[in-house]
Chains A and B, each alone.
Chain A
């Protein structure tokens, strides 16, 4: 039987997508599991458990982190943003819109992490070069797209942020 130390499920509070949440969880429970199991925010995914694939990426205190590597206790008092906070049905975030139009998502499993990495990149660097885009997304593995249309999506949304509103097109210059 497993050794149970001082049973310790401390109360941990943090803000997730603008809302204060409190959970009772072991300090060494992964933030990823707290999000998915305690808060039922299953948008954030587990692909490897080693911090290699980035599908668990969330933003924590304005930085991109792999939530599979963050012990819950260290999220105390943090401000966390997940894909669920990015946009809504009928009101997609410009990043989500760009991915939809440019083909940045295929199977979709890497997509939540990829969107958060993109959000982080553009928050820090609103007009990244292609080299900076590659670096910003290098921690998010996509097995389906070959990354090209993800790059296109990021470039599109970065360009769109210069304009007032991005019009919904049918792929336009980014298709084919």
Chain B
């Protein structure tokens, strides 16, 4: 009896000790995760503060109106002029071309993978698409420079193949994997009862995709497109290499142009800390940040709505 009782107490104390140790470990991990979460917020706030601190003073020298709508960018002249209209329009063109190419292909590819392709095909193709996302942007720029730009030049009979169009095509290749991957997930999240019901009503495969699956996943597909657009706006190395870098406000995508990211990258090395050009480049960075943030926020909202729709 006594023996049994003492045995019971030892197991009890052992259990308690284990529990305490386990609890300590949990506390440790808990605070580590908490800190990691806080760190990202701190870094984000720090970046915003830095962009504001370094970028806003330019408006003391160049009024916002002239900065946004000025068409002349001569940072190393005396006196310098800062007008970012050419860069802003260039970013619009390049993003437009990239979206126009990547959205139809991306959504179609996602529909194929989610609805048509046999499991074996999907399991081979999807990882390959995800590898495409991992190609470094400088490699994409190099391919654009060596292969695509001569092709674009002869196909459209241009003066030079270094143009917004070339950059847009390369960017579309880079945002394709995001669009395909996220829209495929959205399409597969549409409950299969919907499809079964459509088939039961005698709908063909195409009619089911067109009228049931894609409308059902529309918010997810929209979010995928927004994420792809965000990638295209923020991409730097590729556009720096293949967009041509002319300072005119581009009136057509076939002209050489310099998007905002390329303008920052090509000017920042030359800018003395705290100088006017430095401030102007930070202000461009601020604008770029606000634009991509808005795009990502919209994408997030839409994705959230998609999730709520099917969480019955």
Q: Do A and B bind each other?
A: no
Chain A residues within 8 Å of B, Cβ to Cβ: none
Chain B residues within 8 Å of A, Cβ to Cβ: none
